[in-house]
Amino acid sequence: MQIIENSKVKEKLYIEKLDNGLTIMIIPKKGIQKKYIIWGTHYGSNDSKFIVPGDKQETEVPKGVAHFLEHKMFEQENGINSLDALTALGVEANAYTTNDHTAYLFECTENFYPALDEFMDYVQHPFFTDENVEKEKGIIGQEIMMYDDYPEWKVYLNSLEAMYFEHPVKLDITGTIETISHIDKDILYKCYNTFYNPSNMVMVVCGDFVPEDLLEEIKKRLIDKKSNGEIKRIYPNEKEEIVQEKIEQNMDVSEPLFSIGIKDKEETGKEKVKKHIAIEILLNLLIGKSSKLFQELYNDGILYSIPSLDYEFGTGYAHILVTGQSKYPDEVYKKFKETIKNLKKDGINKEEFERIRKTIYGGYIREFNDPGDIARMFLADYFKGINSFDYIEEIPIVNENYLEQVLNNVFKEEKMILSVIKK
């Protein structure tokens, strides 16, 4: 078992890659009661075109299959719903789907191993029939309609629509009522057998465990399944430019919602981490809680609360999003662009930079306090080709010169969009 130690957060990561290709990551937390496990597959809503290992021809499935699969996995052949079985054991279980992965998880203070029995059983034994697939279409259809009524979700999706021509990141993770109508049990089994192979999965466990003992317990519960080789994922070639600068939609909102987007391009290797840190620092300098711009907009009654600042990236896409609520979204957008111009012209204030970098570093350290935060972070980062410890190691390397380089290369006016939801 490989051991990676980080002295700054005083944590050890134990990694084992099994013969079947499954990667197991264990972060022991001595003396902590909470135990958290998450089992993910590198399969998300972006993966609707692929070549199955051993095949030559391309497979295309309807949008929304990854999310549909996640919903169906809890239903077992014996009529038991595994979510109910886990709840009866006193554990909190859940699952979710993102653009690039699907994950199943539970947390508990007691009954970890009885829950592990159920957990590892249902993830390895799908049960799909014509009847239960049809029934699920109605349930997911209602979920799609519910999300269509969420202004917060629509302002986000519309911002992606304004940035991306073809990349599937712009599509709703759930699919549409039309696309899910084409899903059947054969499609679900094909996607399950392709993507839920151990070689395409990672399990992360955090809590008070002896790593070697836990590893043996996990191995006991694994069914005999061989690695199936590399899945070739097919994504369109996305243009660098944006689709349109502004997108507006009318919905029932008390005040307009806005999202300012900046289209970027994907990085490779450790550069992903370094760039992510630089963008986080820059966003805080530009419009974070202590920035001059936020104080000005707040004092003028243009912004009432701190906007959320995000950088999202994956295979073939990357973008910045600044999301908030304001009576005057166009004014926020205009001032944000002016602030970027001024920062490029005047340069970065060393004291402000150091203060924000320290704050962000403190945030990274705090993420290692909770077993759930740790496990989810290691899983999500793993699928992006990142070890979560890299953020702790790379932050001191990010300096003002690198920040200015990212500011000039990424924060370009021609790559910016504004998405608004108004009354």
Give the residue numbers marked as catalytic: 70
The secondary structure of 270-327 as a DSSP string is THHHHHHHHHHHHHHHHHSTTSHHHHHHHHTTS-SSPPEEEEEEETTEEEEEEEEE-S
- Size of the chain, expressed as the number of residues it contains: 423
- Whether the CB-CB separation of 70 and 78 falls below 8 Å is answered with no
Sign of CA dihedral 155, 159, 164, 168: negative
Spacing of C-alpha 377 from chain mean position? 9
Alpha helices, DSSP H only, in 53-128? 65-72, 82-88, 112-124
**Tokens found for residue 189:** 């089994």
- The C-alpha atoms of residue 55 and residue 110 are separated, in whole angstroms, by 45
Residues 6+ apart with CB under 8 A from 334: none
Instruction: Using alpha carbons only, give the angle 65, 44, 378 rounded to the nearest 5 degrees.
Output: 150
